[in-house]
Amino acid sequence: MDQSLKSPPVLALDDAFHAMIEASRSAPPPSLAARLDSLRRLRTMLADNEKRLEQAISADFGHRCAVETTIAETLFLQAEIKHTLKLLPRWMAPRRIATALQFWPARNRLLPQPLGVVGIIAPWNYPLQLTLAPAIGAIAAGNRVLIKPSELTPRFAALLREVIAAHFDPTVLSVTGIEDGVAQAFAALPFDHLVFTGSTRVGRIVAEAAGRNLTPVTLELGGKSPTIVDVSADLDQAAERIAYAKLLNAGQTCIAPDYVFVPEPQRDAFADKLHRNMLQMFGTNPANNDYTSIISDRHYARLEGLLRDAIARGAKPLSATSPEDPAWKKLRKFPPTVLIGATPDMAIMQEEIFGPLLPVMTYRAADEVIRYINAHDRPLALYWFGRDDAAREAVLARTVSGGVTINDCLLHFAQMNQPMGGVGASGIGHYHGEWGFNSFSKLKPVFYRSPFNRMKDLYPPYGTSIARIEKLLRLLS
């Protein structure tokens, strides 16, 4: 685009990006000491501004439960930084790779190398965690990082820009604006790697924009994460754990249980237990500070539409009140709702819910559930409850998902030694811990030729000895 046609925010974005590119291409890769220093700066920044960040996020939501921000965002990031600080020296070290016998006494090494500049397009639902978790991996790998926060969290975005600017050189870590046109321009920049967290629909647009520059992407998307309650499950335990996972952040979680399959005879009993657990956790008062608001009026209206469509198609809601109740609507608190008798034709079963609505479907045989899941896009997460080892292993073997938690929900995401990522429509690539370090590094293979290697015997002109050499190579291959 002609520079004269670009808005001031886009011009500022271009300047920030090109300054990072120039620095990454001209300066040597950051040392271990420099990377550890950046991670410690990030840790200090979080600790010094924890309350301010929490308040900014809550203001953007209308109300965000402070405990949820602490547990799901701040403490998560502190744990990831601690994990990375401890293991980064090992991750950075050249890795010994076996050398095939015919090349001995040569050797192979795999050298982790920074890619350069990593862009992060962050979502609004966990704005702190899902912005800085990939940044931790990118910084550990020696990259420079440019962040684009969500337009739905402007207070948080402004504060994050301020506190990062106070702790980091702008060519190392920087936050760009949320003004109109910046998101599209950001995705179109020729980053060395681009991370996007958000919906599958927008993820396709980001991937297309990145593809024009052959920019590799990590896409953390969403979709409909199924929960299976096996006939062998403890219904009370399953209902309690599913209720908590579903209502964390008022259901605005990409790996939240999106729908539940229960054995047909247990449907009503399970739905009742689920609803009672929801009431026990969050009560019936919309002013309850433990319960988070829906991010915007538009998202609230979308959830109302899903609920109306489900009821019109025969679903029975279990809820303390209607979302049209003025007391709830004023605070954008959507009443937790269980939907009994959900069917595939309902809109709520055709798009990611991203809110405190939980459809309950039934099955007679486990094969029905597996067929249903496999007939739809690969989910970001899958949850299974039960005690039957054979039934559990059948589901694990016959379904493909980004990750799985058994007899609970969400917790696979918090495992620093495990990768986090989707598959198919739910995402591409991984991060967390060493997986993030590897994703944001070029793992460069290097072959060190030995002076004693007889590769010269393969050079032309080929004589009678080549037949013996070929025979030997066939034996070694």
Specify the residue for token string 């739910």: 426
Write out the H or E segment, with its range, that includes residue 443: strand 441-448
C-alpha to C-alpha distance for 94 and 447, rounded to whole angstroms: 12
Whether 50 is catalytic is no
User: CA-CA distance, 306 to 338, in Å (whole number)?
Assistant: 13
The DSSP bridge partners found for residue 173 are: 145
- Structure tokens that stand for 123 in this block: 């979502």
Element housing 114 (H / E):
strand 107-114
The C-alpha atoms of residue 114 and residue 71 are separated, in whole angstroms, by 31
Max intra-chain CA distance, the chain: 93
List 73, 80, 220, 240, catalytic entry = 220
22 Rama class: left (phi>0) / alpha (psi -120 to 50) / beta: alpha
Distance (Å) of CA 6 to CA 10, 105, 179: 6, 58, 12
Q: Is the peptide bond before 461 cis (omega within 30 degrees of 0)?
A: yes
309: phi then psi, degrees, rounded to nearest 5: -65, -40
φ, ψ for residue 104, nearest 5 deg: -60, 150
Other Cβ atoms closer than 10 A to 184: 12
Q: Is 198 left (phi over 0), alpha (psi -120 to 50) or beta?
A: left
- Alpha helices by DSSP H, 385-457: 389-398, 433-439
Strand 173-175 and strand 193-197: the pairing is: unpaired
Specify the amino acid at residue 123.
P
Q: In what order do the strands lie in the sheet with 107-114?
A: 95-97, 107-114, 441-448
CA pair distance 364, 446, nearest whole angstrom: 56
- What is the SS3 assignment for 246? helix
How far is 66 from 282, CA to CA, in rounded Å?
14
d(CA 153, CA 104): 58
Question: Could you tell me the strand order of the sheet in which 382-385 lies?
Answer: 316-318, 337-340, 357-363, 259-263, 226-229, 382-385, 404-406
- Active-site residues, by number, are 220
